Amino acid sequence: MEHELVWGLPVIGYLFLAGLGAGALVTSASLLLRGKDNPDFFRLARYGAVLSIPTVALGTALLVLELGSFQSGHWFRWINLYTVINLSPMSIGSWLLILYFAIAAPYVYTFLVPNSHSQDRFIDLRKNLAYPCIALGIGVAIYTGVLLGAMPARPLWNSPILALLFLISAISTGIASVMISDWIAEKIGTAKWCAENLGWDRERDSSGKASAEYLLASTDTIFIGFEILVIFLYFMYAHLTVGDVRMSIKVFETGGALTAHFWVGVVLVGLMIPVILEMQKILPRLLGNGPYVHSGAVVFVVPVMVLIGGFILRYVIVVGGQLAKLAGI
Amino acid sequence: MKNKNFGSTTPLADNITIDDDIPAGVVISTASDSFHARRKFLSQLGLGIAGGATVTGSQPVMAAVNAATKTKVQYAMVIDTRRCIGCHACTVACKSENDVPLGNNRCWVEYTEKGSFPNVDRSFLPRLCNHCSKPACVDVCPTGATYKRKEDGIVVIDDDICIGCKYCVHACPYDARYLNPVTGTVDKCDFCFHRVSQGYEPSCVNTCQGRARIFGDINDPESEVSQLLAKNAHSVLLKGMGTEPNVFYIDADHSDPRDAIYQNRYIRVETHRKVKERR
C-alpha cells in the first residue's frame, strides 16, 4: 500500500492548535462569567485568554506554511482568501478567524494590562467581550470539523458528527491547557514573577481555588464523557452502514492502519484514563459526600493526557480520512 | 428525407425544409422533449430547494436558477473503451501539450486485470477530469480560483488566484487534481481550452490512435458525442457522488480492487501514475 498525504502535519497541527486556542478562549470567558469576580476564577480566566491568541495564530501560520503557493515562493498569495467570501467552509473559516482575532484581542488585552484584577476599570468591557468570545471560540472550534466534513469524496470525514467531535475535543483540550498552565506557572515561578513585575494576582486568598479547579475538572469530565459518546455514535453508525463509510472505518478496526493510534492514543490515553482519574476526584463533591480536594493528578496528569489524546485524535482523523478510499469507481 | 436516419450527421440539404420531416420528426422530438422537460423540471426542483428558493417557486424562478447553473455549451467527452488499446498516447500528448511536471498526470490510462486463467480479462480505462455539472471541487474552493466556465462548461483553475490549499484535491472524487510543484497551484485537465477555444480538439482526442476519445458539445443534439450517447449504453464514474460528470464511458469496466473482497476473485488495477493504486 502506498499513499500520498495531501494534508500532513501542518494541517493536523493547525486543527489541534486552533481547537486548543478556541477552547481556551471559551474556557476563559466562561470562567470569567461564572466566577462572580472571584480572583481565582479571574486568574484561570487570564491563562485561557493568554493562550487563546498565540495558539490559534501559530496554527494559522502552520496552515500558511502548508500552502502550495507559499512553498513555491508566492509568500503572500494567501491574501486571496480575503478578496472573496463564498460558501466554502475554508472561506467562512478564514473570515471567522479574522473576527476571532479582532474580538479576542481586546478581550485578552484587558487581562494583560499591569495591575489588572477582577474589579479593575475594564470589568464591564471584559464581560461584554466575553459573550462574543464564547460564540467565536465555538465557531472556530466547530469550523475545523466542518472543514473536513464537507466532502463526500472523503467518506471518513463526511459525517455531521465529526464537527461535534472536534468541538467537544477542542473545549476539552482548552480546559486542559488552562489547568496545566496554572500548574506550570506556579512550578516554574512565572506566577510569582508576574505578581512582582506586572502586579497580577497580588491579593491571593485561594478561597476560590478549589472551587475553580472543581468547576474545570467536572466540566472536563462531562466533555470527555460526551466525547466518548460521540465516538461511540460515530463508530456505531459507520459500522452499521454499507459502502464507502463502512469501508472507511476499517482503518480504525482490527487490522487497520491506525487501529493502535486510535484505540490506545485517543480512547485510552486521551479519554478513558483521564475520565477515570477525574471521576475519582470530583465524585465526592458531585454526590455530596465530601469536599473537592486539590489534586496533582487532576491539574497535571489529566491535562497532559487530554492534550496528547487531542493531538492524536486530529492525527488519526486527518490521516485516516486520506487512507480511507471510495469503494469502486 | 422522411426515412432520414435521426442520428445521421449529414446536414439537411438547403432545399428541404424542416416541415418535410414532420411525420417522423415531430413525434420523436415531442416525446423526447416532454421526457427531457420532466427531467429538467425535477432537477430544477432539486436546485430550487438546495438554493434556498421557495418550494412553490414559479417556472421563471426555476428557469433563472437553471440558467445560472447550466451552461449553453457543455463540452463533454465520450470514451469508447472498446476502441482503447491502452497505448498511453493520450497521456504523453497531454503531458507534452500542457507541460505537466514529472510525477503528475492530468490524463492517464488505468489497466484492469481480473480473473484467473483461462477466464481472464484486461481492460483499459482512460481517465481525466470529468468537468462535472455539479463540481465538488468548485464548491469548496475558498478563493474562487476554480470555477466552471459559463461559455463552455469547462472547469478551470486560475493560477493567479489559487493559493494551493489543496482543499479541492480532497473534494474531487475522481482524484483528477494534483498540486503542481512548479507553480504551487492546483492543476488538472482543462479540456485543453486553449486549443478548444481556437476550434481544435483537445490534445488527447487529437492523438488517440483508436479514436476512443470523442469530444464535443453535449447540449447540441447533432454533435457526435450526443449521438453516441443516444445510441449506446454508457456510464459515468462514481455516479453516486452526484457530481453529474461530463465524461461518459461506453463499455467501461467499473471493476475495482475493493470489489474483489466480496466478489472473491482477483482484480488488479494499475493507474500508471506516481501512486499506483486508485485513491
* Any A CB within 8 A of B247 CB: no
CB contact under 8 A, A322 and B170: yes
The whole-chain average pLDDT of chain A stands at: 92
CB contact under 8 A, A80 and B274: no
Q: List, for residues B35-54, the tens digit of each pLDDT value.
A: 444 444 444 444 444 444 44
% pLDDT > 90, chain A: 72
Higher pLDDT among residues B22 and B170, named by residue: B170
**Buried-state track B12-39, b at ≥16 Cβ within 10 A, e below 16:** eeeeeeeeebeeebeeeeeeeeeeeeee
Position B37 scores a pLDDT of 47
Which residue blocks in B119-253 are alpha helix, DSSP H?
136-140, 167-171, 193-196, 203-207, 224-231
State residue B197's pLDDT score.
Answer: 93
pLDDT, residue A114, reads 86
Which one has a higher pLDDT value, B9 or B238?
Answer: B238
How close, in Å, is residue B172 to chain A by CA atoms? Answer: 6
Please report residues of A whose CB lies closer than 8 A to that of B136: 151-153
Omega cis (within 30) before A274 = no
Q: Which of B104, B139, B170, B188 to mutate to test the interface with A (most CBs of A within 10 A)?
A: B170
Q: How far apart are CA A34 and CA A42, in angstroms?
A: 10
Q: What is the DSSP string of A233-246?
A: HHHHHHHHS-THHH
**Alpha-carbon gap, residue B128 to B82, rounded angstroms:** 17
Q: What is the pLDDT of residue B69?
A: 56
**Among A260, A274, A276, A273, which Cα is nearest to A312's?**
A260
Read off the C-alpha cell for B99: 507541460
| Residue B232 pLDDT > 70 | yes
Q: Is B135 exposed, middle or buried (0-12, 13-18, 19+ CB in 10 A)?
A: buried
Q: Residue A329 has what pLDDT?
A: 86
| Residue numbers in A near B144 (CB within 8 A) | 84, 86
Mean of pLDDT values over B46-66: 48
Q: Indicate yes or no: CB of A153 within 8 angstroms of CB of B172.
A: yes
Closest residue of chain A to B256, computed from CA coordinates: A328
Of A69, A147, A328, the CB nearest to B163: A69
Q: How far apart are CA B138 and CA B156, in angstroms?
A: 9
Residue A42: which of A23, A29, A26 has the closest Cα?
A29
Q: What is the pLDDT of residue B217?
A: 95
Residue A51: CB atoms within 10 Å: 23
Residue B16, phi then psi, degrees to nearest 5: -105, 125
Q: How high is the pLDDT of residue A59?
A: 96
Mean per-residue pLDDT for A64-71? 94
| Predicted pLDDT of residue B60 | 58
Nearest to B143 among A70, A73, A80 (CB): A80
- Find chain A residues with C-beta within 8 A of B164's C-beta: 67-72, 77
Provide the pLDDT confidence category of residue A193 given band limits of 50, 70 and 90: confident
Cβ neighbourhood burial of A122 (10 Å; 0-12, 13-18, 19+): middle
Q: Domain ranges for chain B, please list them.
A: 18-69, 75-270
Considering CB atoms only, which of A72, A81, A152 is closest to B183? A72
Record: contact B173-A152, CB cut-off 8 A: yes
Q: Which residue has the higher pLDDT, A115 or A154?
A: A154
Q: What value of ipTM does the predicted structure carry?
A: 0.91
The chain B residue lying nearest A82, using CA atoms, is B143
Lowest mean pLDDT among A49-58, A248-257, A289-298, B102-111: A289-298
Report residue A120's pLDDT band, with 50, 70 and 90 as the boundaries: confident
Cβ A326 vs Cβ B173: under 8 Å: yes
Q: pLDDT exceeding 90 applies to what percent of chain B?
A: 66
**Chain A residues touching B170 at Cβ < 8 A:** 6-7, 151, 153-154, 322
In the prediction, which pLDDT does B33 show? 43
Answer yes or no: do B143 and A2 touch at CB < 8 A: no
User: CA torsion, points B13, B15, B19, B24, in degrees to nearest 10?
Assistant: -40
Joined grid coordinates for residue A135: 460564540
Give the DSSP letter of residue A83.
T
Condensed to tens digits (0 to 9), the pLDDT of residues A246-282 reads 989 999 999 899 999 999 999 999 999 999 999 999 9
- What distance in Å separates residue A51's CA from the closest CA in chain B? 26
Cβ contacts (< 8 Å) between A83 and chain B: which residues?
143
Q: Give B246's contacts (C-beta < 8 A, 6+ positions apart).
A: B74, B75, B76, B77, B130, B131, B132, B133, B153, B218
Mean pLDDT of all residues in chain B?
81
Domain B75-270 in CATH 3.30.70.20? The answer is: yes
**pLDDT above 70 as % of chain A:** 97
* Dihedral Cα A152, A155, A156, A160, nearest 10 deg: 40
Cβ contacts from A onto B, under 8 A: 123
Dihedral sign of CA atoms A167, A87, A66, B171 in order = positive
What proportions of chain B, in percent to the nearest 5, are helix, strand and coil? 35, 20, 50
From A285's Cα to the closest Cα of chain B, the distance in A is 47
Q: Find the residue in B nearest to A326 (Cα).
A: B279
Q: Which domains are delineated in chain A?
A: 9-323 (1.20.1630.10)
Find, in chain A, the residue whose alpha carbon is nearest to that of B141. Answer: A88
Query: Is B165 in Cβ contact with A90 (below 8 Å)?
Result: yes
Interval B171-217: pLDDT, tens: 999 999 999 999 999 999 999 999 999 999 999 999 999 999 999 99
Q: Give the span between the Cα atoms of A142 and A158, in whole angstroms.
A: 14
Predicted confidence band at B16 (pLDDT cuts at 50, 70, 90)? very low
Rounded-to-integer distance, Cα A44 and Cα A46, Å = 5
State the nearest Cα–Cα gap between B179 and chain A, in angstroms.
7
Q: How far apart are the first and last CA of chain B?
A: 51
Query: What confidence tier does B138 reach under pLDDT thresholds 50, 70, 90?
Result: very high
Residue B239 contacts A, CB cutoff 8 Å = no
Which pLDDT belongs to residue A119?
A: 82
A68–B182 CB contact, under 8 Å: no
* CB atoms closer than 10 angstroms to residue A192: 12
Q: At residue B231, what are phi and psi to the nearest 5 degrees?
A: -100, -5
pLDDT at A298 over 90: no
Residue B28, chain A, CB below 8 Å: the answer is no
Which chain B residue is nearest to residue A78, measuring alpha carbons?
B163
Q: For position B215, what pLDDT does the model report? A: 97
Residue A68 to residue B166, Cβ atoms within 8 A = yes
Alpha-carbon torsion angle B57, B59, B62, B64, nearest 10: -120
The Cα of B208 is separated from the nearest Cα of chain A by a number of Å equal to 23
Q: Which residue has the cell 460528470?
A: B245
What are residue B147's DSSP bridge partners? B156
Is any Cβ of chain A less than 8 angstroms from the Cβ of B135?
A: no
Number of other residues whose CB lies within 10 A of the CB of residue A166: 29
Measured in angstroms, the CA of A223 and the nearest CA of chain B are apart by: 30
For chain B positions 172-231, those within 8 Å of chain A (CB to CB) are 172-173, 179-186
Mean pLDDT in residue range B84-112? 96
Alpha-carbon distance A176 to A24, whole Å? 8
Q: Of A108, A146, A134, A151, which is closest to residue A6 (Cα–Cα)?
A: A151
Interface check for B236 against chain A (CB to CB < 8 A): the answer is: no
Say yes or no: B274 contacts chain A, CB-CB below 8 A.
yes
